[in-house]
Structure 1
Amino acid sequence: MSFIQNFKNANVMIIGASQGIGFGFVKQLLQDTRINKIYATYRQQQTAAELLALTSEYADKLTCIEMDITDELQIVEAVRNISTQINKLHLVINCVGLLHEDDFQPEKSLRQINPENLLRYFQINSIGAVLLAKHLLPLFRHKEPSVFASISAKVGSIGDNQLGGWYGYRASKAALNMLMRTAAIEYGRSCPQTLVVTLHPGTTDTRLSRPFQRSVPPEKLFSVERTVSQLLTVIEQLEADDSGQFFSWDGSKLPW
């Protein structure tokens, strides 16, 4: 039996909702009649125009919040704002992730290791997620089935690493997996109705993956809509003992 089979009147938070997979989750969940409220975060207004435009059409259901997960004070303020409106969350999906920026690209060899870039990877891909787990815990401390999911990546699997390279991205996603696995154990004591999982979305046609799509077979390059549907299916099929696990887009468990 699905852990959230009776999912209804749910309050949802999507972190990193202005683009890509996060925006896809918002659009799909706005159409879901089981969802009561959606809190969608974005980092910069200039890249969140499409998200912000939805608030006029879904004023009663969608609230957008400016928040940078590398700034703990901003997380605290966002959670405080949400807590003035609701007292519980049922689904949180952290979609924030960094693979490349204008000033750096994934490392192909040890020669390209840069400490500042490594720190940036860990700030965004790892530390931000555990800060969310820290401050969202009170909103998960209720008796209704809930899920806290973070978007990870298969390249963060140590056991599956056969190609090397991408040091910072791989290591920061591996750290994300460990942090969420550890948080799952504490959540199991503090709010046992909440499952904590990490999810591999597959290669999705977003800005994050675009520079690296050339070698991806067409059948393995997913649209945002397909990725979101697949991941929501995985979430809906979670069982009570799945907390702390790392799942692929098809529902299979990935090695650590």
Structure 2
Amino acid sequence: MGSADKTSAVIIGASGGIGSALEAALIEEGAFEVVHGFARSRGGVQHLDLLDEASIAAAAAHVGVGPAPSLVIVATGMLHEESNDPERALRDLDPSWLAKVYAVNAIGPAIVAKHFLPLMPRSGRVVFAALSARVGSITDNRLGGWHGYRASKAALNMLVRNIAIEERRRNDRAIIVAVHPGTVDTALSRPFQGNVQPGRLFSADRAAMQLLDMIDELSVRDSGKLFDFEGEEVPF
């Protein structure tokens, strides 16, 4: 990342594979005065649960007493859990599971934006990025299935577009984007790696560096869009 003296960076989901790698990479680069990492599994001031707005507000308040954040990355996502796999057909739809997937993949990042964007400088280049997925593209959907994950990521993409439009009125150099990291060797993708093409399964460390390099190249005209790790725009 470029020089960011006297500002901070924030990673939401810093205990996950991609989030922890992003946090480590930013600390190693040393471009930010402070790097804040938050996660549901962390305690104290580093605790943040996307399903609990009070914890998001508390994390933002903690960040707010220090250097303003010029980079916020929401590195979270839910595809499956022990008792729930991605839906393959309509018969698999479950309202409770759909609500949880939406809460984590779309509503949570939006509430993070609600509390963290007001902390970001009102002038100069700032970036708010949320991990989305290519399968959240309606235009690119040719296989169907994975109803909750696809739909919740599509909802996230729309929220990113809305937030970008609103934030432009506060800071016309703000960049609000959704980002697709590719297939990364983490717990989220592990059950589904069998069909990944050779050379397209990335370690978390490599994915983090690819994302940071891509984010560093974004410009204001890219705000409100979805980009993959190679900097290519993915149509909504």
TM-score bracket, normalised by the shorter chain, equals over 0.9
Is contact 2:124–2:171 with CA below 8 Å preserved after alignment? no
Q: What's the CA shift for 1:141?
A: 3.8
2:35 corresponds, among 27, 35, 38, to 38
Report the counterpart of residue 55 of structure 1 in structure 2: none
Is the deviation greater in 218-227 or in 166-175? 218-227
Question: 2:72–2:127: 8 Å Cα contact kept in structure 1?
Answer: yes
* Pair 1:64–1:214, CA change in 2 (3 A): farther
Structure 1 segments, 4+ long, off by >6 Å, are none
> Shift of the alpha carbon at 1:225?
1.3
Q: Residues 47-98 of structure 1: CA distance to partner in whole angstroms, max 9, x if unpaired?
A: x9xxxxxxxxxxxxxx961010111111111111211223x11100001110
Out of 73-82 and 20-29, give the one that drifted further: 73-82
Q: Counterpart of 1:218 in 2: which secondary structure?
A: coil
The AA in structure 2 aligned to 1:104 is N
Alignment partner, residue 226 of structure 1: 206
Residue 197 of structure 1: which of 177, 202, 211 is its match?
177
1:67 aligned to 2:64? no
Structure 1 gap segments, 5+ residues each: 49-62
User: Is 1:23 aligned to residue 23 of structure 2?
Assistant: no
- Specify the alignment match of 1:60 in structure 2: none
Q: Which moved more, 1:75-84 or 1:203-212?
A: 75-84
Are the aligned partners of 1:140 and 1:191 in contact in 2 as well (CA < 8 Å)?
Answer: no
Find the counterpart in structure 1 of residue 112 from structure 2.
132
**Aligned AA for 2:197?**
P
Query: Is 2:80 the partner of 1:100?
Result: yes
Letter in 2 for 1:70: L
Instruction: String of CA shifts for 1:166-203, please: whole Å, max 9, x gaps.
Output: 00000000000000110000000022232100000000
Q: How many residues align?
A: 236
Structure 2 regions of 5+ residues with no counterpart?
none
Aligned residue for 2:164?
184
Tell me the distance in 1 between the aligned counterparts of 2:122 and 2:210. Answer: 27
Q: TM-score, normalised by structure 1?
A: 0.88
Q: Match for 1:241 among 206, 215, 221? A: 221
